[in-house]
Chains A and B, each alone.
Chain A
Amino acid sequence: MQVTINISLKEGVLDPEGRAVETSLQSLGFHEASNVRIGKQITLSIDAEDAARAQQRAARMCESLLTNTVIEDYSIEVIEDE
């Protein structure tokens, strides 16, 4: 299974990096850009019998290491191998 984990900062957690990038976008003339938030993406393969199991294991990985649940949210996408 190919698994993609998207990690984002929780709402209400300040993102100074996102704010700096937003300022840069504005100065380049992209005045339509706002609410810039920077997250990260982790991709991995999981050896599992089905997508539900892969999803469950990925969630365990997020809770035990991959994310800091004080400040981060995550979403998991599983694509079954061809």
Chain B
Amino acid sequence: MRAAIIIFPGSNCDRDMMVALERITGRRPALIWHKETSIDPVDMMILPGGFSFGDYLRCGALAARSPAIEAVIDHASRGGAVLGVCNGFQILLETGLLPGTLVRNADLKFVCRETSLAVQKTTASLFTDGLQDGQVLTIPVAHNEGNYFAPEDQLAMLEDNGQIALRYTEGSHPGPANPNGAAHDIAGIISENGRVMGMMPHPERAIGDGHHSADGRIFLQAALEGVAQ
């Protein structure tokens, strides 16, 4: 299982993701600076969380035009697995690898807390096939622009195609289930072929060992096993 994490100026979850993957797989992922134009073949490419390019213009807009993104798009077009977390999700939407966009949280507040996520039965997907439909995972979010938005017809298509992989749901944590006003309580979506996934919650911040939850590890483990098959 070979993974590469793409690092942009302003990424800040790259090392957490590296540690999480290394603990699960025993193998350290490659760390790739965004100016690289080619990336050695890997099984999965990861766009980590953070504030790439200071969130200038729109979150993820400038990162999505970085040289390394060409290699990510190539990898995805060959059926390679891509995971974007938080800012990485915003970047995936800006590249067009996933549909829709993420806008400012409905209450205009940065939200940083645990959320409960219900795993949804999706179209065949590397990322969620190893999880149960309806399984609830507790994984934290930390973002200002996590409010998923897409036109109604596109939302209907996501629903019909089974592309909504994670939805915010009620849990024991304080605050409303949906932390940001996201349409259809969307926390994570997958591409039509199930090989590209974007999610706002941070699984790498919930891998046990001093974290409040180890559910992020469950998610990552299932994803990694799916990709390795």
Q: Which residues of A contact B (CB under 8 A)?
A: 13-14, 16-17, 20, 65-66, 68, 70-71
Contact = CB atoms under 8 A, between A and B. Distances in A.
Q: B interface, how many residues as a size bin? A: 10 to 19
Interface string B102-141: 0111111000000000000000000000000000000000
Given A13-B149, A17-B108, A65 B101 contact: no
Given A13-B103, A65-B57, A70 B151 contact: yes
B100 interface: yes
Contacts of A17: 104, 108
Secondary structure of the B contact surface, majority rule: loop
B61 interface: yes
B107 A68 contact: no
B150 A65 contact: no
Contacts of B108: 16-17, 20
B58 interface: yes
Given A68-B58, A71-B149, A16 B106 contact: yes
B65 interface: yes
A70 B104 CA distance: 14
A66 B181 CA distance: 25
A24 to B, nearest CB: 12
